Amino acid sequence: MKPENTPAAPLADTVYRTLLDTLVRDVSCVVPGHGVTLCGIVRDSAERVLVQVAVGGDLRSRYAVTVPLVTPGGDTVSHRHVLDCLRELEAARREGAERWSKSRTERDFHGAPVVAGDAFLRERTEFVPSWPDALRDTMAGMTGSQVPGGPRSTDFATAGFVQFEPGWFRLYVSSSHFPSPIGLDLPEYPSAGIQAELGSLFREGIAPEVLDHEHEPDQHSTRCFSMLPWYS
């Protein structure tokens, strides 16, 4: 369906491009045959996006979900909105819930039934964070992939990450001032501006104010600092 020219189109355009950039990273299914695998994202209309999934990673068992790009209340629909919507829909489908069957439309998308996901979208305050979502969102921001075409620092770079306990993860960074990576312990959801915040602290070297939080490094870092007090 060709998108129409409406007053909300510029905002919807931005929301769609952001969703495309973030959702495409969910295409890969690490363990095939479990859950659903995202396998399609298209602009459904000027105001909506269509997301297709394959049940169990099987392309013969697909359905598509259409959701608005901007909610009636004016909220832009985010990556997490869509993931939560897909999870709610899949749970309803597996349970044979009535609201799944009521959400079925008369349309199909390349042979896949289309489901209206409006009733499955949560408000922002209803999000229940999970560590995989938190880690993905934070690392997407750190690597500059959260905002298409966003600026990237060549002097302060992400070198890796690991999470081995609930609630926090270790980010490895390097720069011209410390070519061998250092480790920074961070909470799962530090802040939306984490890249700029860490860049200002470490771009010119290791800031004096973090030296009190140094602890034993691991085998993948030369020095290690806990940033948890900064975000507590």
Give the residue numbers spanning the domain of 111.
9-125
DSSP labels, 176-191: TTEEEEEEEEEESS--
When divided into structural domains, the chain yields a total of 2
The 10 Å Cβ neighbour count of residue 12 is 23
Backbone angles phi, psi at 180, to 5 degrees: -80, 135
Q: Would you say residue 4 lies in a domain?
A: no
Enumerate the H helices of the chain as residue ranges. Answer: 9-23, 79-95, 98-103, 131-142, 194-202
Mark whether 162 and 118 lie in a shared domain.
no
The pLDDT-based confidence of 23 (bands split at 50, 70, 90) is: confident
Q: Would you say residue 3 lies in a domain?
A: no
Tell me the pLDDT tens digit for each residue of 45-95.
999 999 999 998 889 999 999 999 998 788 899 888 898 899 899 999 989
Distance CA 27, CA 81 (A): 17
**Does residue 148 register a pLDDT over 80?**
no
Mark whether 20 and 121 lie in a shared domain.
yes
Mark whether 117 and 23 lie in a shared domain.
yes
Mark whether 175 and 101 lie in a shared domain.
no
Mark whether 16 and 121 lie in a shared domain.
yes
The pLDDT-based confidence of 205 (bands split at 50, 70, 90) is: confident
pTM for the full model?
0.72
* pLDDT at residue 197, as a whole number: 85
* pLDDT at residue 35, as a whole number: 81
Mark whether 138 and 173 lie in a shared domain.
yes
**Does residue 147 register a pLDDT over 70?**
no
What does the longest C-alpha to C-alpha distance in the chain come to? 63
> Considering 125, 153, 173, which residue would you say is the last residue of a domain?
125
**pLDDT (mean) for 90-119:** 92
> Considering 86, 105, 125, which residue would you say is the last residue of a domain?
125
* pLDDT at residue 199, as a whole number: 83
Mark whether 99 and 142 lie in a shared domain.
no
Distance CA 139, CA 144 (A): 8
> Considering 96, 125, 154, which residue would you say is the last residue of a domain?
125
